[in-house]
Amino acid sequence: MEPRHVGRGTDSYGGYRVRLAETLRAQGIRDLAFLKAFAETPRHLFVPEAVRHRAYEDAALPIGAGQTISRPFTQARYLEALRLTGREKVLEVGTGSGYETALLGALADQVFSVERVLTLAEAALHALRAAGVRNVSVLVGDGTLGWSAYAPYDTILVSAGGPEVPSPLLEQLAPGGRLLIPLGAKGAQALTLIQRTTDGVRRTSLGDARFVPLVGEHGFDA
Ligand code: SAH
């Protein structure tokens, strides 16, 4: 599978990006489409000016509004669990910086992303445009309600930790679809994979996770 929006490695950060992809490969990320997506997505456009010089470290960074962009290795592991083929319609809850949205855009067909903080959604949209990502739409609102206009989704990725699976997300998941969400208390969750099968819903725990709180009607109180 070829990632989309390829071939923009001409800026001065290109070498750092390739090195980031090599770091991920050394840590066990082997899928070529993934490594290409990391080697070609300009992470420096998605982080604030103040931390831009650290954009290609394999580290979490602050993005404003008390939120963080996750460590690339964690994002890669997270994305791997989705088993994307390039044909999926994806719902992302928690756009944040928009970096993971861009990676999803490279690895899936269409991405619909919901962010509750207006300033973050605006900055993410700006960065996505600057990065040349075209198959992504951003909505400002409560992502625990999903985005019903474009449902059902083959894949749903929740980038903030909630107390339970928001029921609208289950309703908007297509048969055979995969939903990944950190579940638990604020500050300590279990990354949980929900698969919709013909005879119901299967839950698998993929290990410990630490995400910012999912705040909304089917999440934590603000
Ligand atoms: N993957 C992102 C990181 C997201 S951090 C990145 O690469 O940058 C989690 C984001 O979820 C934060 O921006 C937070 O504002 C957002 N969020 C929390 N609750 C939400 C909700 N109910 N709906 C939409 N976004 C939410």
**Any atom of ligand 1 within 6 Å of the Cβ of 189:** no
Task: Assess whether 70 carries a catalytic annotation.
Answer: yes
Candidates 116, 157, 169, 172: which one to mutate for ligand 1, based on the most atoms within 8 Å of Cβ? 116
DSSP state letters, 155-197: EEEE-SBBSS--HHHHHTEEEEEEEEEEEEETTEEEEEEEEEE
pLDDT of residue 4: 54
Q: What is the mean pLDDT of residues 126-141?
A: 97
The atom number, within ligand 1, closest to the CA of 120 reads 13
Comparing CA positions, the residue from 157, 142, 140, 114 lying closest to residue 221 is 142
Candidates 117, 139, 183: which one to mutate for ligand 1, based on the most atoms within 8 Å of Cβ? 117
pLDDT of residue 199: 86
What's the predicted TM-score (pTM) here? 0.94
pLDDT of residue 201: 93
Give the chain's domains with CATH numbers: 11-209 (3.40.50.150)
Residue 215, SS3 per DSSP: strand
pLDDT in tens, 180-209: 999 999 989 999 999 998 888 999 999 999
